[in-house]
Amino acid sequence: MSGPVGGAPGRAVVIGAGVGGLCAAARLAAAGSEVVLLERLRHVGGRWSSRDIDGFRLPTGAFLIAMDDPLAETFDELGVEFPVRAIDERTVYSVQGRLVGTGQRGGLRALVGSASELDGSDADAVLARLRDALASPPPDGDVPLPDWLASAGAGPAVVAAVHALVQAFMGLNASEVTATAFLDYLRATAGRGRHGIPPAGSRSLAENLAGFVNSHGGEVRLGSAAKGLVVEGGRVVGVDLDGGAQLPADVVVSDVGFGTTAKLLERSDAGAAASLRDMGATVSAAPGITCFVASKEPFFDHPVVVVTGTRRVCLVTTPTLVAPELAPPGWHITESISTFASSADDSDPKSELTEHMADLDDLLGDWRSRGRLLQSATYRGEWPVYRSWPGTDPADRFPVPGLALVGDSVKPPGWPGTGASAEGARLAVEGILAGRHGRAPGTATADPDMTRR
Ligand SMILES: Cc1cc2nc3c(=O)[nH]c(=O)nc-3n(C[C@H](O)[C@H](O)[C@H](O)COP(=O)(O)OP(=O)(O)OC[C@H]3O[C@@H](n4cnc5c(N)ncnc54)[C@H](O)[C@@H]3O)c2cc1C
């Protein structure tokens, strides 16, 4: 970089070193802003990090990293090393215990085809309807996905198969997703879908971005929580830190979601905090559960298996088939992941875990004698799988002058996960460089990139 890009704010303070905060901080540093990135934990990455348990490197959230989405593009654009090892084969589907789609493109076709053998659906008609709807917006509005599939001729087994796909990649149950949101997802990821595993864990990726911020004159402060936002004349002008210190800023970028950002605003501007809460009220988080089993022999020969027809579990991965470095020599890690029966109700994680473990007994058979449970974890509240449901994305990334929001609560439609946070950060920084964060109170317009196509 030869000098600041036109419109780059002098000092940018970024709250939260998740994917969204790190991508925004790196892009602002590249544009020439002086960046301070605050992270309350002692490590970077948030839900895109990893930690060591008994010599096994387990993710704090994201474990499958897309190699051709906006996150990978961010690394590429900034020239930051992206240590992710590609998974050579496509996703495999387990339909009533039979593995389909092995090693080939067109997994959705194989999945629908195989499920249709169970319920007599016309697979060609369902796939043709999907193709048509992808080419033009569906005329039938925001109907729940299962109803839309049924109207296209899908029987219960096909609906259950698509449900597993939605659980695995959109983090919700099919009945919670509209046909439009599903089609948005397919469109956003069309022609993409190459995934990989970082052999040193997701944390290595987050650390590389933090290193980029440091090497571009920025500062990454670990163990440093923002305690409040400083507001003057209706504009956010800085951040309160522990011990009464303040950090002035030309722009503050928040990666901590609506609820926490509203709490940070509360003391200096209760009205702005209330309107932020209102804006976030339409955005619900998607909870989930993961279990990690260690074993000498893998349970599946395929790294990524979407499983259909279970109580809860939708995905079983064996990352060590691709990256043996994640486990001690001679060991494997199997991860299972599930949604909750209702993503709108995360109040009973215990029974959700019981259902998850019952699925594990079915799927991995003798795992209790062949392996051992390394960790079971529930993701909900402030640490969910995703902070917003696909299709309920909010309409503005600059809700208060001087403040920009990034992260998966303000993602562009269609994108899930880490790619969503990376794309949101790109759009937020583009908006900041264009001065959109500085507009006067009351002149907010809907963010064009966030409104539904
Ligand atoms: C179990 C699970 C599996 C997943 N699997 C995948 C996957 O395979 N692929 C994929 O793409 N996505 C996956 N995701 C989703 C993905 O992890 C998230 O969408 C993404 O990491 C969200 O990043 P973020 O920047 O929006 O937020 P976060 O990662 O939540 O970052 C927010 C950061 O802010 C910090 N913070 C909070 N309050 C403060 C404060 N007051 N001051 C300073 N710092 C603060 C937090 O500690 C955190 O580090 C998964 C998530 C989970 C939980």
d(CA 43, CA 60): 11
pLDDT digits over 232-241, tens only? 999 999 999 9
Mean pLDDT of 26-46: 98
C-beta pairs of 313-321 under 8 Å, 24+ apart in sequence? 313/337, 313/338, 313/356, 313/359, 313/360, 313/363, 314/164, 314/167, 314/168, 314/338, 314/339, 315/164, 315/167, 315/168, 316/94, 316/363, 316/364, 317/63, 317/64, 319/63, 319/197
Compute the half-sphere exposure of residue 6: CA atoms within 13 Å on the CB side of its CA: 1
pLDDT digits over 96-149, tens only? 888 987 766 667 888 899 999 999 999 999 999 999 998 886 656 689 999 999
Q: Report whether residue 61 contacts ligand 1, using a CB cutoff of 6 Å.
A: yes
pLDDT digits over 267-288, tens only? 999 999 999 999 888 888 999 9
Q: Specify the pairing of strand 304-307 against strand 313-317.
A: antiparallel
Contact 96, 229 (CB under 8 A): no
The pLDDT value recorded for residue 438 is 85
Over 50: is that where the pLDDT of 448 sits? no
**Spans of all domains in the chain:** 11-82+201-283+389-450, 104-189, 286-379
Tokens of 130: 């999907």
Assign 189 a pLDDT band (cuts: 50, 70, 90).
confident
Mean pLDDT of 377-389: 93
Query: How many angstroms is it from 97 CA to the middle of ligand 1?
Result: 33
What residues have CB less than 8 Å from 109, skipping those under 6 apart? 123, 127
The pLDDT value recorded for residue 453 is 28
d(CA 143, CA 391): 12
Lowest mean pLDDT among 26-30, 246-250, 382-386: 382-386
3-state secondary structure the chain: CCCCCCCCCCEEEEECCCHHHHHHHHHHHHHCCEEEEEECCCCCCCCCCEEEECCEEEECCCCCEECCCHHHHHHHHHCCCCCCEECCCCCEEEECCEEECCCCCCHHHHHHHHHHHHHCCCHHHHHHHHHHHHHCCCCCCCCEHHHHHHHCCCCHHHHHHHHHHHHHHHCCCHHHCEHHHHHHHHHHHCCCCCEEECCCCHHHHHHHHHHHHHHCCCEEEECCCCCEEEEECCEEEEEECHHHCEEECCEEEECCHHHHHHHHHHCCCHHHHHHHHHHHCCCCCECEEEEEEEECCCCCCCCEEEECCCCCEEEEECHHHCCHHHCCCCCEEEEEEEECCCCCCCCCHHHHHHHHHHHHHHHHCCHHHHEEEEEEEEECCCCCCECCCCCCCCCCCCCCCCEEECCCCCCCCCCCHHHHHHHHHHHHHHHHHCCHHHCCCCCCCCCHHHCCC
Contact 97, 309 (CB under 8 A): no
Query: How many angstroms is it from 114 CA to the middle of ligand 1?
Result: 35
Q: Report whether residue 84 contacts ligand 1, using a CB cutoff of 6 Å.
A: no
User: Cα-flanking dihedrals φ and ψ of residue 123, to 5°?
Assistant: -60, -40
Averaged pLDDT score across all residues of the chain: 91
d(CA 233, CA 419): 35
Assign 193 a pLDDT band (cuts: 50, 70, 90).
confident
Q: Which residue's CA is the closest to the ligand 1 atom numbered 32?
A: 18
Mean pLDDT of 394-420: 89
The pLDDT value recorded for residue 240 is 98
Q: Report whether residue 421 contacts ligand 1, using a CB cutoff of 6 Å.
A: yes
Q: Report whether residue 203 contacts ligand 1, using a CB cutoff of 6 Å.
A: no
The pLDDT value recorded for residue 144 is 94
d(CA 15, CA 35): 11
| Among 206, 184, 149, 185, residue whose Cα is nearest residue 25 | 206
Query: How many angstroms is it from 316 CA to the middle of ligand 1?
Result: 21
Over 50: is that where the pLDDT of 3 sits? yes
Q: Report whether residue 431 contacts ligand 1, using a CB cutoff of 6 Å.
A: no
Assign 4 a pLDDT band (cuts: 50, 70, 90).
confident
Q: What percent of the chain has pLDDT over 90?
A: 77
Helix axes 19-31, 202-215, angle to 10 degrees: 20
Quickly name the fold that domain 286-379 has. Polyamine Oxidase; Chain A, domain 2 (3.90.660)
Residues forming beta bridges with residue 100, ordered by sequence position: 93
Q: Which residue's CA is the closest to the ligand 1 atom numbered 48?
A: 46
Q: Report whether residue 257 contacts ligand 1, using a CB cutoff of 6 Å.
A: no
What residues have CB less than 8 Å from 56, skipping those under 6 apart? 292, 294, 326, 327, 328, 331, 333, 374
Over 60: is that where the pLDDT of 437 sits? yes
Over 50: is that where the pLDDT of 446 sits? no
Query: How many angstroms is it from 16 CA to the middle of ligand 1?
Result: 9
Q: Report whether residue 256 contacts ligand 1, using a CB cutoff of 6 Å.
A: yes
| Among 410, 19, 39, 355, residue whose Cα is nearest residue 224 | 39
Contact 189, 313 (CB under 8 A): no
Q: CATH top-level class for 11-82+201-283+389-450?
A: alpha beta
| Among 439, 396, 400, residue whose Cα is nearest residue 272 | 400
Q: Report whether residue 252 contacts ligand 1, using a CB cutoff of 6 Å.
A: no
pLDDT digits over 299-334, tens only? 999 999 999 999 999 999 999 999 999 999 999 999
pLDDT digits over 339-368, tens only? 999 999 999 999 999 999 999 999 999 999
Q: What percent of the chain has pLDDT over 70?
A: 94
